[in-house]
Amino acid sequence: MTITEQDTNTNTDTDTTAAAAAAAVRMLRGLEDGSSSVRLRAALAVGSAPDPRFVPGLVQRCAVEPEFFVRDMLTWALIRHPVSTTLPALLAEVRSDRAQARSQALHTLSKIGDRRGWPAITPALLSDADDEVARSAWRAAVVLVPAGEEAELAAELATQFGRGGRETQLSLSRALVALGDVIVPVLLAATTAPGPRARAHALATQRLLRDPDAGFELAIEEAKRVAVLDGPGQEGR
């Protein structure tokens, strides 16, 4: 190869690298566009051509993206990247002061399913004051919990019985039921708790464990009647 040919190849490689960098910048800018459809297409493009340079931008956008379907595509784009790149960024994000950042990072960790993320699922996250963060933490915990630690997780989740509205309570019940029969002793203890609201929630979860096809609304209403009639204590958890 002559010197001229070497120079030509070097210039071509430089041009290709510069073009790729410019394309990456355009795609990342698209994630911040005022149009949700543009942001959606940008997230799709980023996920279709994974590059470690995209990960920080994707994680940052997850923290502020207002549209659910765009956040869903952002999560998909992150999952398309190597875990070695995404995991450290997500583990840092679950400690964010921004609730949506924590929730989306936890959601993405649950989708990736790498159990190296388990240490990030702290009791503080499982009882986070923000319902969406707590719900994401419950789902992630069930996916990431190491074998043999399910009973301990069930006991931690049981501290949240009676929390929130229907959707929050259903999320907790589904997380517990996903752990299987290991939750039976925890449920038994919770169904005798002094608070009727927590007791009703535990009874409804107990019914769902026995019959996963049972409607949660019916189960919770029936459980409320049982809790009030059969159990002592004051309203509350």
pLDDT at 220: 63
Share of the chain above pLDDT 70, in %: 80
Is 60 exceeded by the pLDDT of residue 181? yes
Q: How far apart are CA 110 and CA 77, in angstroms?
A: 14
Least confident of 21-25, 57-61, 141-145, 153-157: 21-25
Could you give the CA distance from residue 207 to residue 172 in angstroms, rounded to a whole number? 14
Query: What gap in Å lies between CA 181 and CA 108, rounded to an integer?
Result: 27
pLDDT for the residue 24: 73
Q: pLDDT band at residue 233, thresholds of 50, 70 and 90?
A: very low
Distance CA(125)–CA(102), nearest Å, equals 9
Higher per-residue pLDDT: 33 or 215: 33
Q: Average of pLDDT values for 191-220?
A: 82
Q: What was the pLDDT predicted at 89?
A: 97
Q: What is the CA radius of gyration of the chain?
A: 23
In terms of Cα–Cα distance, which of 189, 185, 201 is closest to 235? Answer: 201
pLDDT score, position 15:
47
Per residue in 94-112, pLDDT tens? 999 999 999 999 999 999 9
Domain boundaries, the chain: 161-237
